[in-house]
Amino acid sequence: MSKEEKLLEIRFPAKAERLTLVRALVKRAVQTVGCNDALGEKLVIAVNEACMNVIQHAYQGNSTGDIVLEIHHAGSQLRFKLVDFAAPIDLEKVKSRDLEDIRPGGLGVHFISEIMDEFKIGHLDGGNGNYLEMKKSID
Amino acid sequence: MKYNTRQDNHYTIVELDGEVDLSCSPEARKQILECLNKAQNLLVDLSRVTYIDSSGVASLVEGYQTAKKKALKFGLISVSVAAMNVLQLARLDKVFPIHASVAERIASDA
pLDDT digits (tens, 9 = 90+) for A109-134: 999 999 999 999 999 998 899 999 99
What's the whole-number mean pLDDT along residues A104-112?
90
The interface pTM score, or ipTM, of the predicted complex is 0.93
**pLDDT score, position A1:** 65
Contact A43, A94 (CB under 8 A): no
Q: Are B65 and A24 in contact (CB under 8 A)?
A: no
State yes or no: pLDDT of A61 exceeds 80: no
Tell me: pLDDT of A64 over 90: no
Which of A 69-98 lie inside 8 A of B, CB atoms? none
Residue A63 has pLDDT above 80, yes or no: no
For residues A69, B16, B64 and B41, what is the CA-based torsion angle, rounded to 10 degrees?
A: 170
Q: For residues B70 and B38, is the Cβ–Cβ distance under 8 A?
A: no
- Determine, for residues A49 and B90 on separate chains, whether the beta-carbon distance falls below 8 Å: no
Q: Which of A51, A107, A115 to mutate to test the interface with B (most CBs of B within 10 A)?
A: A107
Fold that domain A5-137 belongs to in CATH: Heat Shock Protein 90 (3.30.565)
pLDDT at A14 over 80: yes
- Look at residue A101 in the predicted model and tell me its pLDDT: 84
The residue extents of the domains of chain A are 5-137
Q: How far apart are CA A90 and CA A73, in angstroms?
A: 30
Determine the distance in angstroms separating the CA of B58 from the nearest CA of chain A, rounded to an integer: 4
The predicted structure's pLDDT at residue A131: 97
In this prediction, residue A100 has a pLDDT band, given cuts at 50, 70 and 90, of: confident
Q: What are phi and psi of A44, to 5 degrees?
A: -60, -40
Q: What is the mean pLDDT of each run of 10 residues along chain B (110 residues)?
A: 93 97 96 96 98 97 97 98 97 97 93
Q: Which residues of A touch B91 (CB under 8 A)?
A: 99
SS3 B101: coil
Any A CB within 8 A of B27 CB: no
What A35-43 contacts at long range (C-beta under 8 Å, 24+ apart), as own/partner pairs, is A35/A78, A35/A138, A39/A136, A39/A138, A41/B82, A41/B85, A42/A115, A42/B85, A42/B89, A43/A78, A43/A80, A43/A115, A43/A136
Model confidence pTM above 0.90: yes
